[in-house]
C-alpha cells in the first residue's frame, strides 16, 4: 500500500542519514536491507518440519543446527572443488576397512610370536567410535518422529502401547 511504501522509504532515509552522519558511510546498498533471505530461511525451517508448519522453539533450534551442518557438508554448485570431494571426506568406509586390516595384521604378528606383545595390547585400546552423547532434545525429537511414523500405520494395540508413553510421562 501507499502507507507501507511511505514508511519504508522514510525508514530507509533515516537509516541512511544515521549511517552517513554517525558511522561515516558514503552510500547504502538497499538490496541488503531486504528480508527475503530471512523469510527464505524461516520457510526452509518450516519446510524441514514436515507437516508441522509451526515448530516449537526446541524443534526450531534442532532444525537450525541440522541445517547449519547440512550447509557445511553439502557440495557447492560453483567453485573450484569437485563435487565428490565432500562425499569422500564424509565416507568412513575406507578407513574402517584399513583399521580392520591393521588389526588383522597385529593378530597375525601376535600369533607368530607365540604370545601377546605390547603392540597387541595397544590395539585393543584404540577405538573409532564416538564417545559423546547426542543432545537429549535431538533424541527426544527423533524418537517422537519414529514413534509417530510407526504408530500411524499399525493397528496392533501392543505395538502402540510399546511405542507411546502414558500421558503423565509425556512432555515436561
pTM (2 d.p.): 0.30
pLDDT digits (tens, 9 = 90+) for 106-142: 655 554 555 445 544 454 455 555 556 667 777 777 8
pLDDT digits (tens, 9 = 90+) for 51-93: 777 888 888 888 888 877 766 555 556 666 555 555 555 555 5
Question: For residue 13, what is its C-alpha cell?
Answer: 532515509
Question: For residue 85, what is its C-alpha cell?
Answer: 570431494
The dihedral region occupied by 50, where left means phi > 0, alpha psi between -120 and 50, and beta the remainder, is left
With cut-offs at 50, 70 and 90, classify the pLDDT of residue 171. Answer: low
Cell numbers 538490496 correspond to 31
Return mean pLDDT, the chain: 71
> How many of the other CB atoms lie within 10 Å of CB of 114?
6
How many angstroms separate the Cα of 140 from the Cα of each of 64, 136, 146? 16, 6, 10
Q: How many CA atoms lie within 13 A of 13 on its CB side?
A: 6
Radius of gyration of the chain (CA): 28
Amino acid at each position: 500500500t501507499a502507507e507501507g511504501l511511505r514508511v519504508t522509504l522514510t525508514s530507509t532515509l533515516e537509516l541512511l542519514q544515521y549511517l552517513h552522519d554517525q558511522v561515516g558511510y558514503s552510500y547504502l546498498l538497499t538490496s541488503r536491507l531486504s528480508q527475503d533471505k530471512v523469510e527464505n530461511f524461516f520457510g526452509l525451517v518450516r519446510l524441514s518440519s514436515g507437516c508441522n508448519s509451526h515448530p516449537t522453539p526446541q524443534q526450531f533450534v534442532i532444525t537450525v543446527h541440522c541445517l547449519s551442518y547440512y550447509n557445511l557438508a553439502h557440495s557447492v554448485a560453483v567453485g573450484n572443488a569437485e563435487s565428490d570431494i565432500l562425499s569422500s571426506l564424509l565416507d568412513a568406509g575406507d578407513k574402517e576397512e584399513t583399521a580392520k586390516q591393521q588389526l588383522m595384521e597385529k593378530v597375525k604378528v601376535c600369533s607368530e610370536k607365540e604370545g601377546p606383545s605390547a603392540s597387541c595390547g595397544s590395539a585393543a585400546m584404540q577405538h573409532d567410535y564416538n564417545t559423546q552423547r547426542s543432545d537429549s532434545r535431538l533424541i527426544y525429537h527423533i524418537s517422537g518422529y519414529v514413534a509417530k511414523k510407526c504408530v500411524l500405520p499399525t493397528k496392533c494395540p501392543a505395538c502402540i502401547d510399546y511405542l507411546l508413553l502414558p500421558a503423565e510421562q509425556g512432555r515436561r
